[in-house]
Every structure is written in C-alpha cells, then in structure tokens.
Structure 1
Amino acid sequence: MTQRPKPVRVREHAWLCTEAVAPSLDCAQISPSAFDYLCQLSERFSRGGARLAQVEGRRQLKLDNYVGVLQTPCGTVIEIVPKHHAEGGTLQEARALLRKLLLALLDMPTREAGPAALQLFDAPLSEWVMHQFLQELDVLLSRGLRMDYARVEEELPYLRGQVNLNAQLRQPPGKGHHFHVRHDVYGPDRPENRLLKLALERVRQATQSPENWRLAQELSVRLHEVPASRQVAHDFRAWGTDRLLAHYRAVKPWCELILHQHMPLAVSGDYQGLSLLFPMEKLFERYVARWLRRALAPGVEMRTPARSQSLGMHDGSPIFQLEPDIFITQSGKRWVLDTKWKLLNEADQPGKYGLSQSDFYQLYAYGQKYLGGAGRMALIYPRTEQFTQPLKPFHFDERLSLWVLPFDLDAPLDEQALLGGEHLDMPYAMPNGTTHALGTDKKIIEGIAP
C-alpha cells in the first residue's frame, strides 16, 4: 500500500519549492509532481484574470492570496491559511479565522454554526466543511426527507396508471401482452435530495477523518433510495424555496461548497478530491460587510458592491464601471468604504505605511462619482500588531477626506471591530432604537439580534 504524502501547511504568500527546506508556515517542500500541477493550475488562473502563484524558475513558486485546501492528483494536500499577523500567529488561530470568514461568506448565523466549534474542531478547512455538511444532513434526516410525486414511464406486464398509446401502437409482434404506461410514484427523488446524495458520496470518497467517514456511511444507508444528481447546475436551479423545505436551508450552503457551486470563490479541481480555494480579499470584504449590516441602524441602505457609476461616457454609453466594495446612504448622506487585504505598518510614514497610490486614485474617483466630491470615505485594512489605530486623515481637498481604519478580525462579530469608525459619523443601531455615530460606544451592538 502506497503511503500518502504528508500534508503541507503554509500561509498565504508562502514559498513552495522542490528542494529540502526547514518546514514552516512561510516555506515548505512539495514533490515535483505537485509543483508541476500548481504551475499548470496557476496558468489556468492567469488566463481567467486571477493569480494563484508566482513561479520563480523551475524549483520554487510563491503563493498569492488564495486560502483554503488544495489537493493535487498525486495525493499531496496543501493547506493555505490566512496571514493576518505580520509576525507570529499559530496554525490553529489561522484556521479559526478562516472558518469565521467562511461563515460570513455563506451568511450562516453564528448561533447555528456554533462559535465553540470554530475553536474545538482543529482540522483543515475541507474536513471542517465536510463535518458541518454531515452534521446538518443528520439533523435534516432526523426531521424527514421531503417527498414528491415523480412521473414514471415504463413497460409492465400489467396496466398501471395511463397507457402510453403512441408507444403501445409501436409495440413489436410478440410483446402485445406488455403495456407502456405512465404513472406517478411518491418518493424522495427530488432535486434537493439528489444533490444531497451526490455531496454525500463526494464526502465519503474525500474524507480522511474516521469520525466523518463513519457518519457518512450511516447517512448513506438512510439515503439509499435516493439517486445521485446527474445535472448539478439544473438541480440547484430547481431547489425549492417554499416553507415545506425550510429545514433544508441550513444544509444548502455546505452542499454548494462541496459541489463547487460558489464559483469563482471556491475553485474545484479536475480530479477526485475536495479542493476549496478562496481569495482572501473577497472573504475579508464579505466579513466587513456582514458586520456593518448588523451594526448600522434600520433604514440605512447598504450596497455591496455598488455599480451605479462609471468613470466616463463614450459614444453615449458608460465606460469603466466604478464598483466600491461598500456604499452606504441615509437621508441624503452617503459614505464609500473599500476593503483591502494587506498588512500596513503605522510606523512606516516614509514608506507611506504600505499604502498603494493606485488605491488612492481609485478612492478619489469613487468620491467624485458617488459623493459628488464632498464627504467621507474609508479604506479598511485588517488590524495587526503593526496597525492598531487609525491613520491621520488624508484630504483630497477641503470637502473630500479619506480615513484609513483597522478592522479587528479577532473581535467577535457582535462587538466593535471597526476601530476609529466614529470619524465617519455613520448611523448605527442602538438597543433602544436611537442612532449615533458608528464606533463611539463599544456597546452599540450588544442586544441586537443576528
């Protein structure tokens, strides 16, 4: 029996090479076959407008900002975790952060997902996703599968339902005692159940956890009457939304992840195995947006992203669409917020703190088109040990200003996380229904239902 390659665990922007190196979260050795596959996959990403890795010669490559789990055809499992601290940080902390961000992407309530599970279930992302899917499927089956009538056309030696006259008239000699009939069968053959069966089969084949495999085997017996989906996209479009399928809602996001329906955020491989890759900037953007939705006052409109303005007009049509990550409006007031997944250094003023000039050009264009050249905007970066407080404001002119704010990813979702948010003077919800400037009081979110 061939031995499986040892899993590789690194952070985003880590180096992978084929030569022997001291393993760490920032550098690791992989097999030549895994290296070749990553080069091919990176080329496919590049053709799609993204970048998975930067190849340096034939022996090493540098990963970009994709995180998750990647399984190569040779069996190598590469786990890529976020780098949200410039120095230090453990694998377990990075795994917990990635799971928290993924729950925000799926818009899963933390009370259902179980915040304790984020800390206690210490395993790669793929095993955690499979574990969550199996747990939700177990709960669904305990409440019962939704059944439905399905039309069946078959040839029987007796009459049942309606006779298919066209097929019966074409019956060859010697088979006149057989009948072509149509009838309805009440059973579990529904699009939702077919998708769950296919996802369960994928989990049974991919999981390396004894606990997950044992539960998958038990659930497979309970779904033995359900055929696996053969048209995944079609069945997802046919997934019902009526109240009789309310107990299916919790399992659907996990089923989508396993069957790779979150494209392009989740990227599937072209072989058997469960690969989940996510661009960190999208996960960070979704998490910040979800926090703001919980924090802002009722009646505040928030679009993520906004797509109503373009840089200019050409031949009567808009050209170069401007899409800020977050656009907030209330009673004529407007705010533009953009998230950036990058580590800043508040002490490096000569190096402009690590800020990008192109980002400032972008925010200036947002301010002119979305705010009419007057208002407050913000660039939001992750809080790190080198970026703990807001930078002094940047002024494009006397009417348009830009704040650079840290967002604390280690803070719970129901606590203040946007540090310096009071400078934006945005309305947020209070338990008594009144509104104040965002960030002026840490207790603003307490008591607000998810």
Structure 2
Amino acid sequence: MTLGLHRVSVREHAWLCTEPVPASLDCAQLTESAFDYLCSLSERFSSGGARLLQVEGRRRLKLDNFVGVIQTPCGTVLEIVPKHHAEGGSLAEARLLLRKLLLALLDLPTRDVGAASLQLFDAPLSEWVMGRFLQELDTLVSRGLRFEYQRVDEELPFLHGQLNLNRQLRQPPGREHRFHVRHEVYLPDRPENRLLKLALERVRQGTQDANHWRLAQELSFRLAEIPASRQVEQDFRAWGHDRLLAHYQAIKPWCELILSQHMPLAVAGDYQGMSLLFPMEKLFERFVARWLRASLAVGLDMRTPARSESLCEHQQQPIFRLEPDILIADGGQRWVLDTKWKLLDASKRADKYGLSQSDFYQLFAYGQKYLGGAGRMALIYPRTESFQSPLDTFDFGGGLSLEVLPFDLDQERLLGIERLRLARRTHEERLVA
C-alpha cells in the first residue's frame, strides 16, 4: 500500500498556489514539486488542443473545467470536483454528483451501485473507482474465471497427447527416450484475465484504504497464475462478448477506467499514478442524453451527437460540420438540443444572464440546417440557486425558437421540457424501463 500521499480537494476553476492560503474548495496550497508537475502537465494538454489550467505568474494557477483526480510523482493527490452551485456547496455533495455523472458516462445502472453506498462512501474518486473494481472482481472470481484450451509444444520423458513426428525424427542420438509432444492445456491466460490482473496490480499498489488493500492482496493470490497484460489496447480489442463471458461485462467499464482506456481524456505520460480526468462538458452532456433517452416516448429517434449536416460546401464537399449534442426526430418533426456546462444567473438581464453570443450563432446555424429554419431548439444548463426556472423564449424569427432550460442534477429532471412538446413516457413506463 502506497504511503505518504497528501490529498488536496478543490472545485473546478479553483486557484492553486505555493504560498500559505486559507484552505477552501476554491483555493488551496500545493508543494513546489506538485505545482511544477501541474505546469508541465498543462503544457502537454495544450499541445493536444485542450487546456487544463491557466498559469498566472510563476506561483499561481487557475484550474479549468476538468474534474477527477491527479496524482503527482511527489505524492500529492489533487481531487477536482464539479462546481454546480454558484455559492456554497459541500465536498460530499460534489463527490456524489461526480460519481453519478461517471456512472452515466460508463453507461452503468445507478441501482446496481446503490444510492446509499454512494452517499456513505466519503472518499475521493480514485478510491471509489478502486473499491467498485475490487467488488466486481471479487464477485467475478467467486463465480469462476473463464479458462480456455491452449496448444503447448514441449519435450517430455513420457508420451502425452499427440506425438510431433517431424521433431521426433530429428531427435539427436542419446535423446531417443525424450518425446516431442503436442497437447492442449486448460489455462486462464486470456485477454480479459490479463487485463484484470494488470488493473488489480495498479489498485493494490495505489490504494490508501486498508480494506481495499487487504481485498486486493487476497485477490492477487487467487489470480497468481495469470500474467498481467503487456499489450493493453490489443487485449481490450480481443475482449470476448459471447454468452460464456456475459458475467465479465459488469467489470469491464471499471477495468477500462483504471487502465485509462474509457475516458474522454486521461493523464498521459511516463508517470500516471491513479490519475483520472474528465471534461465536465462531456459528463454533463452524457448525463442529460441518458436521462432524455429514458424519459422520451418509445419510437422517437435520438442521436447523440448528430453529424449529418455541415455549415456549407466547398468544391462540392461539405466543410465545417455541424454537430448538435442531441437531435430528436418524431416522423418529420425534429428538435435540436445542446448542453452547456456553465452557471447562469437569471437575475442579470443586463449581462444577458451569462449567455454566450457565439452559442446563439451556433444554435441558429443548427436551426437552419437541421430544422429548415423553423422549429424548436433548447440550450440546457445546470440548475443553480441563480437559475431555477426556464428563461423566456428566444425568437429567431421565421418560426425558429430557442428555449434556455435548467437541468436539476440533484432531482434528475429537465425543467421546462414541456415547452418543447416532446412525446414522453408515463411514470409507469419509466419505472418499467
């Protein structure tokens, strides 16, 4: 079990510095080495087209809208949680929200995890992920690992299996008593098991929870004969999906998460530790889309995202693809919905509530290309204390309108959805689904 880790918990857009400051979710002190590591990590992100943080001066930086956990080589664990309250909000609430969003990203049913366990498990994201992986692996091992027959060619002092005549005839003098044979052995050395063994080793080395470490040690002994994967991507591609591996499907998302194969963005480089990062825009988009898919009436076609239209053509080829987050179709009628992870303030009419003009230009283009210039669209933002009800409708003219709606992440409902006049499931249908 790794020792000596120093945990720092903050929210998106928090300030980090090296000088002593009153600790809060919006400001925290880091060691010099952790600060330097974040700066170097930010450079790698920037070269890949993403921005992890803004560096202001030599000893001060501001985080962007990524959430998750970063473990530095010096032992600092930086936990970044969502900021879904304009003012206030506790660390426990933010952790619960992040786990809820993560379940939607992995497409896991919340009921399989249990709401009570989410609320009671007051630990950073990395420990929660490792705990879920260990629980699933313990269940899997108890049910039985999948073995497969593998052909083995070897030289034995006795005849076993099929005699390899070509090699036996070339046996040198004095070794006629040895047999070159070919036979099959029933082994657990499969791509799925190799990946689980590698993920288990990372959890065993990275956990700070004593119960997790003990369970990881026990499982490590039970999987001792399985080699760890050395070709992660290749083994994930070879992961089987037949009915004999159906009981492996529950653990696969957690294994992908730990081995950094299933995330919108992961920390890359020589040192990773147990680092997981996610853009909040993607988490929010996936959560809203999943909720809509479960809430809309059966038969509606929903695409996330839509990619069928472009802004214009150049040399008879489409250019500048238009990709709304959600496109819903019911026969010949369509709706365009876009999600934005930004905190609005409904009281600031003079400041346009915090809305972005570029977002409205974008939605206007979506309306022209996907709706033919007439229809209903929506921009969906998180509900906060300062944005609790839909804004008045925005009219583009020509029959094209835009609703700005709040999504309540705590109650899991879209306020003002009735304005879009979408066919929805009844309460009884949602319970069955």
Q: Residues 105-144 of structure 1 correspond to what in structure 2 (within 5 A)?
A: 105-144=105-144
Deviation readout 1:68-89 (Å, 9 max, x if unpaired): 1100011110000000001000
2: CA distance, partners of 1:288 / 1:86: 20
SS in 1 for 2:158: coil
Task: Report the alpha carbon displacement of residue 21 of structure 1 after superposing the two structures with TM.
Answer: 1.0
2:23–2:29 contact (8 Å) kept in structure 1: yes
Name the structure 2 match of 1:262. Answer: 262
In the alignment, structure 1 residue 212 sits paired with structure 2 residue 208: no
Change in 2 beyond 3 A, CA 1:30/1:243: same
1: CA distance, partners of 2:323 / 2:167: 57
Q: Which has the higher contact order (CA 8 A, sep 6+)?
A: 2
Give the partner amino acid of 1:106.
L
Task: Report the alpha carbon displacement of residue 239 of structure 1 after superposing the two structures with TM.
Answer: 0.9
Name the structure 2 match of 1:59. Answer: 59
Change in 2 beyond 3 A, CA 1:327/1:162: same
Name the structure 2 match of 1:439. Answer: none
Gaps in structure 2 of 5+ consecutive residues: none
1: CA distance, partners of 2:239 / 2:190: 9
1: CA distance, partners of 2:180 / 2:319: 60
Alignment: residue pair count: 432
Change in 2 beyond 3 A, CA 1:172/1:318: farther
Name the structure 2 match of 1:42. Answer: 42
Name the structure 1 match of 2:183. Answer: 183
Question: Pick from 403, 422, 429: which aligns with 1:426?
Answer: 422
Give the partner amino acid of 2:231.
Q
Q: Residues 70-85 of structure 1 correspond to what in structure 2 (within 5 A)?
A: 70-85=70-85
Name the structure 1 match of 2:342. Answer: 342
Task: Report the alpha carbon displacement of residue 272 of structure 1 after superposing the two structures with TM.
Answer: 5.3
2:127–2:207 contact (8 Å) kept in structure 1: yes
2: CA distance, partners of 1:328 / 1:210: 48
Task: Report the alpha carbon displacement of residue 163 of structure 1 after superposing the two structures with TM.
Answer: 4.3
Task: Report the alpha carbon displacement of residue 167 of structure 1 after superposing the two structures with TM.
Answer: 5.4
2: CA distance, partners of 1:149 / 1:37: 47
2:151–2:183 contact (8 Å) kept in structure 1: yes
2: CA distance, partners of 1:303 / 1:212: 40
Give the partner amino acid of 2:146.
R
1: CA distance, partners of 2:154 / 2:23: 61
1:269–1:275 contact (8 Å) kept in structure 2: no
1: CA distance, partners of 2:28 / 2:403: 38
Gaps in structure 1 of 5+ consecutive residues: 434-444
2:264–2:282 contact (8 Å) kept in structure 1: no
SS in 1 for 2:6: coil
Name the structure 2 match of 1:285. Answer: 285
2:263–2:278 contact (8 Å) kept in structure 1: no
1: CA distance, partners of 2:5 / 2:230: 32
2: CA distance, partners of 1:15 / 1:226: 45
Deviation readout 1:218-273 (Å, 9 max, x if unpaired): 11122122221111111111111111111111111000000111143343453252
Task: Report the alpha carbon displacement of residue 276 of structure 1 after superposing the two structures with TM.
Answer: 0.7
**TM-score normalised per structure 2:** 0.96
SS in 1 for 2:324: coil
In the alignment, structure 1 residue 193 sits paired with structure 2 residue 193: yes
2: CA distance, partners of 1:231 / 1:301: 38
1: CA distance, partners of 2:46 / 2:194: 34
Change in 2 beyond 3 A, CA 1:147/1:363: same
- Aligned identity (percent) is 74
Name the structure 2 match of 1:436. Answer: none
Give the partner amino acid of 2:383.
R
Task: Report the alpha carbon displacement of residue 194 of structure 1 after superposing the two structures with TM.
Answer: 1.1
2: CA distance, partners of 1:167 / 1:324: 64
SS in 2 for 1:402: strand
Change in 2 beyond 3 A, CA 1:244/1:400: same
